[in-house]
Structure 1
Amino acid sequence: MRFFAPYLIGISSMLPSALSLADDDTKEVETVSVIGTRQAYQGAFEYKEVPAASQEIDLELIKDAGVLNLSEALDLSATVARQNNFGGLWNSFAIRGFAGDENLPSGFLVNGFNAGRGFGGPRDLVGIERVEVLKGPKAALFGRGEPGGAVNLVTKRPEFEKGGEIRTTVGSWEQLRFETDAQTVLGEDENVGVRLVGFFDDAESFRRTVETKRVGFYPSIAWEASDSTTVNYELEFTRQELPFDRGVVSLNGELGIMPIENFIGEPGDGDIETEVMGHQLEVEHELWDNWTLLTGLGLRDTTFVGFASEPNFEGRQTLFLDGRTLSRFRRFRDFDTEYAVVRAELSGEFSTGTLEHRLIVGADLDRFENDQIILRGRPPSIPDGATLDQLDLDQYLVLDILDPVYGAVPLLELGPNTDRLEVQKAWGIYIQDQIDITEQFQIRLGGRFDDFSQDIDNRRATPVTTTSQSDSRFSPQVGAVYLVNENTSVYATYGEGFRQLTGSDFAGNAFDPNKSESSEIGIKTDLQGFFDSVSGVATLSLFDIQQSNILVFDDRPEASDGFFLRPAGEAESRGIELDINAQFPGNVEFWFSYAFIDAEYTNANPDANFGATIEAGDPLINVPENQLSVQLSKGFTSLGVPAKVGAGVLYVDERLGQTASDFFLPSYTTVRAFAELEASRDITLRVDIDNLFDEEFYTNSFADIWVEPGAPRRFRFTAAFKI
């Protein structure tokens, strides 16, 4: 608790002053209209007018599903597949089969800002209003990013109200969690809204010796400076202490032999400490009718520091000698990132003859600095034909995976491994025009020009060497929408994109960017047009994405004196998706998301990590062909007391667990359930059960000895108090 005391005191000291401003319900409060709700890069379009599929996981669905972090929220979208999450220390996911750099967290946006960069730890959802899964080609507006789509988190901002809620959760493995969300209004004209959101979470886990401590504070201020101008400021602070947990190992490709409760790290290493401090400032100004200028500034610093003991691979792995003695190597990491972005966007409507235009024009400038220091100690290679009793096991940092005894062997001494500073700078300008050709037919034309540079300082070299590159790219997008009637539309879209790659080849030259081409067709419908008593939307989409310049092992003769990479891999992802978000009579909420994704390499190359041969047609790692997520809930009144019950199902097909191998993670189905009761006007009680049938399952992996197990059955009890 001492770890959190300074932050809890700070949060609690702010709450009384905020709550003292909250008036009784009987006092009339002047209604203030909030205009600062426009999202950068997205414009103002009805859902059926956008030539791309998307999903909105709103706050009500987040609560019904009982999710607490971003990874759990994205499980609701069948389009998104979990990827190797670096020992549980960041969010990593693939959209429509494609993921980003496996050595960096997956990039996600916060209110349109690229806030996924850096090493701030896994994202908690306490300060999030909704999670948007924006599918398809986005590079024409968002710029450098992933080909499958983008994830955008929309934060909780002041709503010019007074009141709030405090939530207390206790759960399995001694979980203790507190959340607070308080709002008030300031100023004589009540034109300043303040919102204070924070959380504290301390929990053990089903993994032996594994405990996490996390705290976050997310205050925001909205100022309605005039009838036409709104200013929003948000702060993001999160600090986490998390063990580096590589999961479990398989034996001869078989999972379940090693108990999922056994931790294969070393508690003596201590925790990895992560911290993030971020700021967002946005000013929205209505210039004249239907024209708006949105400007913004984002700053985000992250740190990641700590030791970790991790399983060795192949020729240094003693596990292969007796089936239970695991050898490990040890690393110390000290990562520090700084990210800054400024942007401006003008949007509005105009006419040229009989054509109606909705225009978005913008520009952004960003700088990302990634400072990494890694120390490493690892055992020697195992001689051919050696047996376990012929080795000095003190050199191998061994652990019995079936009956672990921690601290039994000395920790390995560390030496230099990586000392690198990478600085990426970029600026871009973009334009999008959606044109109403007729009352039913619209076309979207868009494009973005990016100019970027990259400098990498290798500080291990003597003298220090610097690798630099610069490039410019144009990313086009074209789309069409046909409004069949007032409830249904069909659409098609095509776009190109790119993503910068970190590192350099054997000659010290920076890699060419990863490139992609994406196409999509689909149909969207408003369900109320078919069923008078049903509301909601449904989308059916088909997509095809081709990606090139994927990093693979460089086996050319000129690169044979070391382990180097080159951008030569190619892959394709094709699939079909069906998403339904509906509300039925009787206060019934229904969420359905299904995706079939065929993601595979289209050329042969050596794998970037182990050098094994990837054949054309091999699947991409951690991407299931079939994935399904369903959530159903019903509200009702019993004995005059409002209540709600619900359940959810997640099915994930088998997935490749190690690139260029025949190791697959088995498919799984998990069920969750909840019941909620409004005990009084101000108190709500809730119970959640996750993995109701206690299935043993595995969510993702990097290799057969780095596999993340899912949690067994878990109970949580929550009490929410209105303030």
Structure 2
Amino acid sequence: MHSKKNGSTGKRSRLHSRNAALLGCTALIAFSPVTSLAQDTESSGTNTVLQTITIDGAGADDDSKSIVATKTTSGGKIATDIMNTPASVSVITSKEIQQRGAQNVEEVLQYTAGVTTDFYGSDDRFDYFKIRGFDAYMYRDGLLIGRPFGGLREEPFAYERVEVLKGANSATFGVSDPGGAVNYMTKRPKSERFGEAYVTGGSYDRAETGIDFGDNITEDDTLSYRITGKVKNANAEFDFSNDDEKFFMGGLTWRPTDVTSLTVVYDHLNTDGVPGSGGHPVGTDFSRSRFFGEPDFNYRGVNRNSLSVMFDHDFGSGLSFSTNARYSNANTDFGYAYIASTPTSGSTIAERGFFANDYSDENFVIDSHLLYETSFNDIDSKTLVGLTYNTLSSTNMTYFEGPPSWLGTAPGIDWTNPIYSGPLSSIPLIEQLKSHQDTKSLYIQQDLTFLDKVTASVGLRNDWMDINQNDILNDTRSSGDISEFTSRFGLSYKFTEEFMAYASYAQSAVPSSVLTKAELGEQYEIGVKYRPDSFPALFSASIYDLTREDFAVTDPNTRVVTTIGKARVRGLDLEAKAEITNNLSVTASYSYLNSKILESGPQRTDGNELSFVPNHTASVWGNYTLEGNDTIGDMTFGLGARYIGSYYFDDANTQKTGNNVVFDASFNYKIQENTSLDLNVSNLFDKKYVAYGGFGADFYNPGRSFAVTLRRTW
């Protein structure tokens, strides 16, 4: 029986009042010290010169100062120059995230080649994205988080950068889908004083404030701290909604010697929202604000706590050791009343389904590796050997009540005159699962560079997955004991210091839903990269052949699940990130994807295109700075466009959306040194289309929204 509502109207009102006060207090506290600092600077009669900031952590760039990254860890566990990485990797730095005003992971990724986002429209339960046509796993500091679908929505403000590794990659990170991986890099303490504070107001009653600051605790730089946090009170674009969040992260870094570093980071994420408006009747054209769910039932709550530990030590003579570990526990729930079918008989009463879920998990994951670097003759060698252990325990309870045509009792709603019925007194529990998974992994990576031109990279990994699942309702137990070996081979040639070409082969493996077998993936890829010396930029192009096989397929008649599925995507990715002058920067991408279902068994969709995979996507974002003078500050204008080609809503290829272009914009005004006013607008012209449909309701793409931010840095 399920009748819980996460946050009644009264509770929500009290929360908004309390949090509004907290917003104001936080803003005053955050801005007070920097105001006095500004006064001290003015009285001294000297200009403040910002020093170059070095981010602690192996191989990191200064992501707050540039949109162009030079190093990555996502091409392998070894921090490597992107020009020496035989793989397609895109990096979205914190500067780019801030410039575009990205508020969630989908917005962070939507200007990245090969990535499709937001294909579920106004359904906001999870982050929805695919890489090269397939699902992609999420990682944090190289440690597994899980799939975005079914997971909680990550907070971009917690991360220094977001790295996107495209294609099969299990030999790099471990268990993963063939589409690729998104790796979030946590903000860590720095060895100097820095800070940022902001307040934001915007559409849908958004009020937000955030801080990110740190300094050395000791004079000899051996101990540093960093505090990051934000509080947001807001609604969504539809009636009866809310989108509230409280986030806090604190970190300490201890450097007892020049060759040893220990970082500990704790973070807490709490959100209270509404997963969506319930969709809109098929074929209608309502305002996005119209709500056809149930005001006292549609809810989405998240509470997560995690503790991360990162340790590095250099033994000298080329030998170093690193270990990352994370413990987390999370509790999530949501209730979702939605339109289940639109009548075709002339009636204006849409049937609804009531769906609810309670989920909790506890996870511990640790990765440790030794790296040995040496040179002999004209050969540079990097050898990496590592172990990973991941244990996850979870409880998942699902409730559902369908409409009368589905032999249920869920009430419908008249879309011409909505009258809300209130939450159901009870909703049947249809599934209750307790799961436990242990994964142990051993991996090795060898990179050899000849004459500083040719680099050969080999990655080998074996994952042992022990899975147990207890179906409480049916009193059944199932288990799987899977051992999968995956590999990655890459070869790159540097024609000049500015231009390189590469070829690679990579595999992936992830447990299938039948538990006893793994889904497999493999990718062949060739590409080129160009990084000019004259200005910060990276241009890349790649073509690939990516296959997913042995994934679960359900017989629509017997409901029997078999692992016979096979699909393929062949494509082209083009991407550019360039700071052409001090005044002009550009990010651009284009992707062509040719998807095909090769084996589907009784579903009989062989030869069709995969759902939610457009043939063409493209994007461009440009920033231009108009320099000020003694009376007018610098002004930076940003404009972006995203082209999303048509795609099917289902593998049967019965319905599809059209081609669409969405524009975004930004404006930054430098009020004074280190103080700025930002305006960000998403979907500038309020372009409206059906992003997801064909299953009883239509879901529109997000509408126009704006945010105005006053920001102070020091």
Residue 571 (structure 1) aligns with? 567
Which amino acid letter does the alignment assign opposite residue 388 of structure 2? D
The residue that corresponds to 2:607 in the other structure is 617
1:55 maps to 90
Equivalent pair of 1:7/1:215 in contact (CA under 8 Å): no
What does 1:37-48 align with in structure 2 at a 5 Å threshold?
A: 37-38=58-59, 39=73, 41-48=76-83
Confirm or deny that 1:436 pairs with 2:449.
yes
Deviations 1:86-108 (A, max 9, x none): 931221211011015xxxxxx31
The 1:400–1:30 alpha-carbon spacing in structure 2 relative to 1, beyond 3 Å, is closer
1:522 aligns with 2:513: no
Query: In structure 1, what is the equivalent of residue 483 of structure 2?
Result: 472
Counterpart residue number, 2:7: none
How far apart in 1 are the matches of 2:654 and 2:26?
A: 56
* Distance change (3 Å), C-alpha of 1:257 and 1:221: same
SS in 1 for 2:165: strand
Q: Equivalent residue of 2:145, what SS?
A: coil
CA gap of 1:208–1:86, structure 2 versus 1, over 3 A, is closer
Q: Could you say which residue in structure 2 is the equivalent of 1:491?
A: 502
The residue type paired with residue 3 of structure 1 is: L
Residue of structure 2 equivalent to 1:500: 511
Give the structure 1 partner of residue 266 of structure 2: 235
Q: Return closer, same or farther for 1:587/1:451 CA change in 2, 3 Å cut-off.
A: same
How far 1:439 moved relative to its partner? 3.7
Going from structure 1 to structure 2, the CA distance change for 1:248 and 1:186 (only over 3 Å counts) comes to same
- State the 1:536 CA deviation: 0.6
User: 2:434 aligned with 1:399, yes or no?
Assistant: no
TM-score where L is the length of structure 2: 0.88
Report the Cα offset of residue 670 of structure 1: 1.0
Tell me whether 1:372 sits opposite 2:396 in the alignment: yes
Is the 2:574–2:589 Cα contact (8 Å) retained in structure 1?
yes
Measure the CA separation in 1 of the matches of 2:697 and 2:690.
Answer: 11
Which amino acid is 2:257 matched to? S
Residue 660 (structure 1) aligns with: 652
1:403 Cα deviation after fit: 3.7
* Residues 461 and 485 in structure 2, CA contact (< 8 A), matched pair in contact too: yes
Change (3 A) 1:592 1:6: closer
CA distance in 1, matches of 2:199, 2:178: 40
Select the residue among 196, 216, 221 that pairs with 1:185. 216
Pairing 1:587–2:587 present: no
Q: Residues 183-222 of structure 1: matches in 2 within 5 Å?
A: 183-222=214-253
State the shift of 1:455 in Å. Answer: 0.3
Counterpart selection for 1:650 from 596, 618, 642: 642
Aligned to 2:169: 138
Please say if residues 26 and 209 of structure 2, whose CA atoms lie closer than 8 Å, have aligned partners that are also in contact: no
Write the distance in 1 (CA, Å) between the matches of 2:198 and 2:29: 16
Alpha-carbon distance between aligned partners in 2 of 1:668 and 1:181, rounded to the nearest angstrom: 37
| 2:105 matches 1:114 | no
Residues 327 and 71 of structure 1: CA distance in aligned 2, closer, same or farther (over 3 Å): same
CA distance in 1, matches of 2:337, 2:293: 5
Cα deviation digits, residues 575-600 of structure 1 (max 9, x gap): 00111111112520110111111122
202 and 708 in structure 1: CA distance in 2 versus 1, 3 angstrom threshold: farther
CA distance in 2, matches of 1:688, 1:323: 42
1:79 equivalent to 2:93? Answer no
TM-aligned CA deviation for residue 275 of structure 1: 1.1
Moved more, 37-46 or 422-431: 37-46
Paired letter, 2:115:
V
Matched, 1:717 2:708: yes
Q: What is the rounded CA distance, in whole Å, between the counterparts of 1:185 and 1:432 in structure 2?
A: 36
* Aligned-partner residue type, residue 57 of structure 2: G
> Using a 3 Å threshold, how does the CA distance of structure 1 residues 486 and 29 change in structure 2: closer, same or farther?
closer
Tell me the SS of whatever aligns to 1:664.
Answer: coil
Opposite residue 455 of structure 2, the aligned amino acid is: Q
| 2:696 aligned with 1:695 | no
Larger mean Cα displacement after TM superposition, 118-127 or 336-345? 118-127
The residue that corresponds to 2:542 in the other structure is 541
Distance in structure 2 (CA, Å) of the matches to 1:18 and 1:588: 30
Offset of residue 37 of structure 1: 2.9
Query: Could you say what the CA RMSD is over the residues aligned between the two structures, in angstroms?
Result: 3.0
Structure 2: unaligned runs, 5 residues or longer: 1-12, 60-72
User: What code does the residue aligned with 1:434 have?
Assistant: D
Count of matched residue positions in the alignment of Structure 1 and Structure 2: 675
Paired residues of 1:294 and 1:346 also in contact (CA < 8 A): yes
Counterpart of 2:131 in structure 1 is 95
Within a 5 Å distance, the mapping from 1:127-526 to structure 2 comes to: 127-245=158-276, 247-249=278-280, 251=282, 254=283, 256-312=284-340, 317=341, 319-322=343-346, 324-351=348-375, 355-381=379-405, 395-407=409-421, 411=424, 413-461=426-474, 464-502=475-513, 504=514, 510-526=515-531
Tell me the equivalent position of 2:65. none
Which secondary structure does the structure 2 equivalent of 1:267 belong to? coil
Which SS does the other structure have where 2:638 is aligned? strand
TM-score by length of 1: 0.87
- What amino acid sits opposite 2:215 in the alignment? T
**In 1, are the aligned partners of 2:481 and 2:516 still within 8 Å (CA)?**
no
Instruction: Between 489-498 and 28-37, report the one with greater CA deviation.
Output: 28-37
Contact 2:373 2:382 in 1 (8 A): yes
CA distance in 2, matches of 1:467, 1:382: 29
| More moved, 574-583 vs 654-663 | 654-663
| Distance in structure 2 (CA, Å) of the matches to 1:400 and 1:10 | 39
Q: CA deviation at 1:398?
A: 0.6
Helix, strand or coil for the counterpart of 2:155? coil
Query: Hey, what's the Cα distance between the residues in 1 that align with 2:21 and 2:167?
Result: 41
Query: Aligned equivalents of 1:50 and 1:70: distance in 2?
Result: 24
Distance 1:212 1:45 in 2: 39
Whether the 8 Å CA contact 1:440–1:483 is kept in 2: the answer is yes
Aligned mates of 1:706, 1:117 — CA distance in 2:
25
Change (3 A) 1:323 1:71: farther
The offset of 1:626, in angstroms, is 0.7
Instruction: Kindly indicate whether the alpha-carbon contact (under 8 Å) linking 1:177 and 1:201 is maintained by their aligned counterparts in 2.
Output: yes
Instruction: Name the CA distance, whole Å, in 1 between partners of 2:415 and 2:672.
Output: 50
CA distance in 2, matches of 1:18, 1:327: 51
> Residues 141 and 446 of structure 1 are in contact (CA less than 8 Å); yes or no, is this contact kept in structure 2?
yes
Residue 3 of structure 1: aligned partner: 15
Extract unaligned runs of 5+ from structure 1.
Answer: 101-106, 384-393, 505-509, 607-612
Q: Structure 2 CA distance, aligned partners of 1:146 and 1:585?
A: 39
Question: What secondary structure does 2:257 align onto?
Answer: coil
State how far apart, in whole Å, the 2-side matches of 1:716 and 1:554 are.
47
Give aligned-pair identity as a percent: 21
- Alpha-carbon shift at residue 525 of structure 1 (Å): 0.9
Paired residues of 2:567 and 2:595 also in contact (CA < 8 A): yes
Tell me by how many angstroms 1:19 deviates.
8.5
- Greater CA deviation, 237-246 or 449-458? 237-246
SS in 2 for 1:244: coil
SS at match of 2:344: helix
- Indicate the SS of the match to 1:204: coil
The alpha carbon displacement at 1:52 in A equals 0.6
Q: Deviations over 1:390-440 (max 9, x none)?
A: xxxx93411123442223x77363222011011111110111111124442
| Contact 1:198–1:216, Cα closer than 8 Å, also in 2 | yes
Deviation at 1:35, TM superposition (A): 5.1
CA-to-partner distance for each residue in 1:467-487, whole Å, 9 max, x for gaps? 111011110111111111221
Contact 1:519-1:544 within 8 A present in 2 as well: yes
Q: Report the AA paired with residue 718 of structure 1.
A: T
Contact 1:272 1:306 in 2 (8 A): yes
Query: In 2 relative to 1, CA 512–85 (structure 1 residues): closer, same or farther, beyond 3 Å?
Result: farther
* Shift, 1:44, TM fit: 3.0
Measured at CA, do residues 306 and 55 of structure 1 come closer, stay the same or move farther in structure 2, by a change above 3 Å? closer
Quick one: structure 1 residues 348 and 707, their matched pair in 2 at CA, closer, same or farther if it must change by over 3 Å? farther
Structure 1 residue 305: deviation in Å? Answer: 2.0
- Which SS does the other structure have where 2:80 is aligned? coil
Shift of 1:658: 2.4
Q: Do the aligned residues in 1 keep the contact of 2:567 with 2:597 (CA within 8 Å)?
A: yes
Provide the rounded CA distance (Å) in 1 between the counterparts of 2:275 and 2:574: 36
